[in-house]
Amino acid sequence: MNRTAAHLADGRDIFFFDDAPRNRQVRDPRDIARTTGASELRYDPFLDEWVAVAAARQHRTHLPSTDQCPLCPSTESRATEIPQDDYDVVVFENRFPSFSGGGALAPHLAGDALAAFGTKDGDLADIRHPGAGRCEVVCFTPDHGTSLAQLSARRIETVVEAWADRTQDLYATGQVDQVYCFENRGEEIGVTLHHPHGQIYGYPFATPRTRTMLSQARRFRAATGLDLFAETLRAEQHAAEHSATGRVILSTDHWTAFVPSWARWPVEIHIYPHRAVRSLPELSPAERRDFARLYLQVLGAGDALFATPLPYISGWHQAPLSAPETDFRLHLQLFSIRRADNKLKYLAGSESGMGVFINDIPPEEMAQRLRDSLAEKGQGGGE
């Protein structure tokens, strides 16, 4: 790995990950101070969830013009968040974080905040904790006008190396329980900076979605003695081999990409490794290289579905440190709100109010459309 660690002018960490070795000398000439107003965690006793309150984010940069982009390389006339005139992949602490590192979540709160309340004086409607965790920005390329789908496989490998490196470091801080590496793409999704980039959130707790998945995996193992993730992958692979309407869109030596039968979104793709690993740092060099090539094909197929490039959220689901070793498998989930060239899926009453999704496109139909996109590009699909 070709990694250079440095600091920005206000003390935030920055890390350069290069495709090939470079001798970087990093100095940030700006006169800036840390953003004031740390985040805070507040507990919802009805849903057993933590909500982050981060008022400083109200002032974050919003859709700047290209010549004012803070993620482009610095020039002699303009200093940006990246104090270099060129880079491959760079990661730095977010200047406007949702989680701002106020120490680990108190053990009694991390375990069961509601039960812990019964042993302490306080206000049930106002259980809170100083901001904890960490937020980082990942810039995939210095080229403002491109996208992750247009990068080389070698560059995607470097991005994977950055994700794995930062995951390992964040887990080692003692303040993070789960690491989520993700990309939001497209204004329709809510992106406020057009430069190709993603984010890394280090949560001080296991997220609600992950806790539900862990609970289901434990129930499945208790009932059957089997691994829920492995059985899901096996079932999708079996259907691809024996049915023309299977949901697998692409499979390689180390990975399988498929549309789940329960897909909530018009476009939803899950990518599973064939080997049971819990987090990105555990992937072998061969698995990382293989993923880079498969992911480019998946992104390309998504961009070919509609008249405009696919807006999406794509993120790695990694095991929390607090989770038992056998209950979770690393995987990636990608979804899009676009359902037609000129239509988006908005979360309306049922989805937003009650969490019950209604999908307008059958998953089997979407899987076929994605396979057709791959075939048109001469990349093949399925097994």
The architecture CATH gives domain 2-205: 2-Layer Sandwich (3.30)
Strand partners, 250: 257, 382
Contact 99, 132 (CB under 8 A): yes
Q: How far apart are CA 348 and CA 358, in angstroms?
A: 10
CB atoms within 10 A of CB 259: 27
- Residue 144 annotated as lining a ligand binding site: yes
* C-alpha torsion 130→183→281→257, nearest 10: 130
Give exposure, 330-352, as e/b (b: 16+ Cβ within 10 Å): bbbbbbbbbbeeeeebeeeeeee
Average pLDDT of 20-32? Answer: 94
DSSP 8-state code for residue 111: H
Q: What is the dihedral of CA 232, 179, 171, 33, to 10 degrees?
A: 170
Quote the strand ranges of 20-133, DSSP E. 40-44, 49-53, 89-93, 128-130
Residues 240/382, Cβ–Cβ less than 8 Å: yes
pLDDT(380) > 60? no
Write down the pTM of the prediction. Answer: 0.94
**Architecture of the domain made up of 209-376:** 2-Layer Sandwich (3.30)
**To the nearest whole number, what is the mean pLDDT of the chain?**
92
> pLDDT per residue over 274-325, tens digit each?
999 999 999 999 999 999 999 999 999 999 999 999 999 999 999 999 998 8
What is the per-residue pLDDT across 77-125, written as a single tens digit (0 to 9) for each? Answer: 999 999 999 999 999 999 989 988 766 776 667 667 777 666 665 677 7
Radius of gyration of the chain (CA): 21
Average pLDDT over residues 177-181: 96
pLDDT at 205 over 80: yes
139 labeled binding residue: no
Instruction: Say whether 135 counts as a known binding-site residue.
Output: no
Residues making up the chain, counted from first to last: 383
The answer to whether 197 is a known catalytic residue is: yes
> What pLDDT does residue 382 have?
44
pLDDT digits (tens, 9 = 90+) for 312-352: 999 999 999 999 888 899 999 999 999 999 999 999 999 99
Q: Which residues contact 107 (CB under 8 A, 6 or more apart)?
A: none
Choose among 68, 70, 95, 87: nearest CA to 11.
95
Residue labelled with tokens 């901001």:
131
Every domain range in the chain assigned CATH 3.30.428.10? 2-205, 209-376
Q: Is 330 in contact with 178 (CB distance < 8 Å)?
A: no
Residue 195 annotated as lining a ligand binding site: yes
C-alpha distances in Å from residue 56, one per residue of 34, 151, 332: 11, 33, 30
Q: In what order do the strands lie in the sheet with 89-93?
A: 2-7, 13-18, 89-93, 134-139, 197-203, 178-185, 312-317, 331-336, 267-273, 255-258, 248-251
Catalytic residue among 197, 254, 317, 331: 197
CA–CA distance, 122 with 126 (Å, rounded to integer): 8
